Structure 1
Amino acid sequence: MGKSDPFPMPRTGLSPSEIQDKAVEIAIDQMRAKGFEKVRLVDVAKEMGISHAALYSHFQDKTALLDAVSERWLVNLDQKQDLLVLEKRDPLQKVLTWFQNLHRMKLEKVKLDPELYKAFDMAAEQSKPFIQTHLSNMRNQMSKLVTEAMEQKKLKKKDVKMVTEILISAGTAFTHPKLVAQHSEENREPLLLQTIEAVLKGLV
């Protein structure tokens, strides 16, 4: 028989998904308190009352945990945009609101959660899988809005994919992670809306 651990870690009573959620919440608190660079899995595990080895079974390293933090934020962002797409109103107005929301949510993150935004920006630079999922969701949302606008004859019948890419490309200067951060002290929302309105007029 092997020796028992003289300092057994208490059981959490949490499911694997609950452990992951709790770890993300603690990581967020630590990022806000001391910066994302100083977050350590061993500290997160200690606060949870589990061994760091147990936490490693859920997150292979610190980067994986930070990615989970960013992914949670993007999932929430995408869900809000999904609800917008389903609203029963003018699809062209929804296109404007979609860009406005995306810009505002990223700008808010830069200002209120700068450390979390830095972690997200790093993941975006490396084009992590969850970032690709977010970009795919963005295109799907815009594609639905474009299709709806064409069906209501608010836009000319054209290739939906092409129009979607035109619109998203036009908004990139206002929604790209680095550019949002670089211009965070400027009020660029009016220019964003004017830009998208001009593009839409060219597609009517």
Structure 2
Amino acid sequence: MLPFGSVSLPITFTDSEREASDSDTDPRGLGPRVSRLSGPAARARATPVSTDARLLAIATEHLTRLGPKRVTVVAVAAEAGMTHANVYRYFPSKDALLDAVAGRWLRDLETELAGIADAPDPADDKIERFIGALATAQSEMLTHEPNLFAVHLDATVASRPIARRHRVRLRTLVERIVEEGIGTGVFAARDRERAIAVIFDASYRFTHPVAIQHDADVPRDLLDARLGAVIQSIQRSLRTGTF
């Protein structure tokens, strides 16, 4: 503190100190400059985008614009400013890279379906909503994101890891609904495995990407009517226990 009656002189900087004022060091030698950023802006500055996330973003844009056949690891690497050999440190193949892009869409779908399975609705209503959501999401994917659907379809046909994991997660969610239905008496079925098989077998045409691709030219209203009839048949079988 200045003695009483003394005069405070203004602080002046040399040219070099003025240049240093734009750096992260306080020009008066008082240690690191305190950032003026706070909250989300400071966190965004402190947390750069990871390399794999950046590669996925570039691959997503290339897939949307070019289609899966024309996407190349070399082009993705060039845009990311690295060699294609470096990309393989994160994704061992082009298929793995594109599957990771599709995997983000599948995880969002699985989250939506899990919300249906965990809802407080009766089990027979959940089955209707579950099958409808699974069918609609993939149908809309084919219409609005055909290149992404092509990756999903190819991964399913080739039974690549991303497709196998997706099937396991779908089965787990359906099993949860079936067990709840049996436990609450909504479903008369006692054979859980047969009940699960009926659900997937009967809805195959509307929920499997191969069948969805095959019916791409069928009018939407006709498919919706057929799906509604199939869902009613599934619900009736589960309620009565007759397969």
TM bin (shorter chain): 0.7 to 0.9
Whether 2:108 is the aligned partner of 1:92: answer no
Task: Provide closer, same or farther for how the CA distance between residues 14 and 42 of structure 1 changes in structure 2, counting only shifts above 3 A.
Answer: farther
In structure 1, C-alpha distance between the alignment counterparts of 2:81 and 2:72, rounded to whole Å: 14
Q: Which runs of 5+ in 2 are unaligned?
A: 1-46
Bigger RCO of structures 1 and 2 (CA < 8 A, at least 6 apart)? 1
In structure 2, C-alpha distance between the alignment counterparts of 1:24 and 1:169, rounded to whole Å: 34
> Greater helix percent: which structure?
1
In structure 2, C-alpha distance between the alignment counterparts of 1:111 and 1:26, rounded to whole Å: 22
Question: Secondary structure, in 3 states, of the residue corresponding to 1:59?
Answer: coil
Match of 1:9 in 2: none
1:14 to partner: Cα distance: 5.0
Match of 2:161 in 1: 129
The equivalent position to 2:233 in structure 1, one of 186, 195, 198, is 198
The equivalent position to 1:19 in structure 2, one of 39, 51, 57, is 51
The equivalent position to 1:164 in structure 2, one of 187, 196, 212, is 196
Q: Kindly indicate whether the alpha-carbon contact (under 8 Å) linking 1:103 and 1:189 is maintained by their aligned counterparts in 2.
A: no
1:157 to partner: Cα distance: 4.2
> Larger radius of gyration, structure 1 or 2?
2
The C-alpha deviation readout for 1:36-83, integer Å capped at 9, x for no partner, is 111111211222222322212111221221121122221221111111
In structure 1, C-alpha distance between the alignment counterparts of 2:84 and 2:228, rounded to whole Å: 48
Instruction: Report sequence identity in percent.
Output: 24
In structure 1, C-alpha distance between the alignment counterparts of 2:171 and 2:61, rounded to whole Å: 32
Question: Secondary structure, in 3 states, of the residue corresponding to 1:36?
Answer: coil
Q: Kindly indicate whether the alpha-carbon contact (under 8 Å) linking 1:85 and 1:141 is maintained by their aligned counterparts in 2.
A: yes
Question: Secondary structure, in 3 states, of the residue corresponding to 2:120?
Answer: coil
Whether 2:112 is the aligned partner of 1:77: answer no
Q: Kindly indicate whether the alpha-carbon contact (under 8 Å) linking 2:189 and 2:238 is maintained by their aligned counterparts in 1.
A: no
In structure 1, C-alpha distance between the alignment counterparts of 2:88 and 2:172, rounded to whole Å: 34
Match of 2:69 in 1: 37
In structure 1, C-alpha distance between the alignment counterparts of 2:173 and 2:155, rounded to whole Å: 22
Question: Secondary structure, in 3 states, of the residue corresponding to 1:37?
Answer: coil
Match of 2:178 in 1: 146
Match of 2:87 in 1: 55
Match of 2:22 in 1: none
The C-alpha deviation readout for 1:142-189, integer Å capped at 9, x for no partner, is 111111111221111411121011111110011111211222342212
Whether 2:190 is the aligned partner of 1:155: answer no
Q: CA RMSD in A?
A: 1.6
Output the amino acid matched with 1:96: E
Output the amino acid matched with 1:192: L
Output the amino acid matched with 1:166: V
Match of 2:224 in 1: 189
Q: Which runs of 5+ in 1 are unaligned?
A: 1-12
Match of 2:136 in 1: 104
The C-alpha deviation readout for 1:79-135, integer Å capped at 9, x for no partner, is 111111111112111101101000111011101111111111111111112211111
